[in-house]
Amino acid sequence: MSTTVKNREIEELVNRKPPIFTNRGLPVKVVYWLSKLEKELVRCLKDYYKVRMEIISTFCKKDEEGKLLQNVQADTFEFLDDKARGMANQRVLELLDMEVIIPFDKIQIKLADLQGLISADEMVIMDPFIEFTE
């Protein structure tokens, strides 16, 4: 009873958060499982961000106190050099493609329950997590 997804899919779903997650007009069972899914995905995303910051910290400049130096205008961190930037980017991409096990099966939702509540784009984003049924 588990589903395997990639960090990339989790990040995209949590950051875009389709309105289906806040729609309380769905059947109670669906709302319950969507709530559980959202909590689990947020937990996984926090773990992803923690590891991502560890990677970035390894390849970025730090001040005398050990804090990462940031380029405020570009809203980025200051990397040691171009090679370090490339290595950090490569490791973050590998982290994005890493598979994560979600501790329950895909949620089954009847398409009839979603009429007008979800777009085709949102369905594509949610496909790794939800099984849409007739």
H or E stretch including 133? strand 130-133
The answer to whether the beta carbons of residues 106 and 123 sit under 8 Å apart is: no
- Residue extents of the structural domains in the chain: 3-133
Could you read off the pLDDT tens digit of each residue along the chain, which spans 134 residues?
A: 789 999 999 999 999 888 888 877 788 888 898 899 999 999 999 999 999 999 999 999 888 888 888 876 767 888 889 999 999 999 999 999 999 999 988 888 888 888 777 888 888 999 999 998 98
Query: Residue 25's pLDDT is what?
Result: 79
Q: Report CA torsion sign: 65, 71, 72, 76.
A: negative
The answer to whether the beta carbons of residues 92 and 52 sit under 8 Å apart is: yes
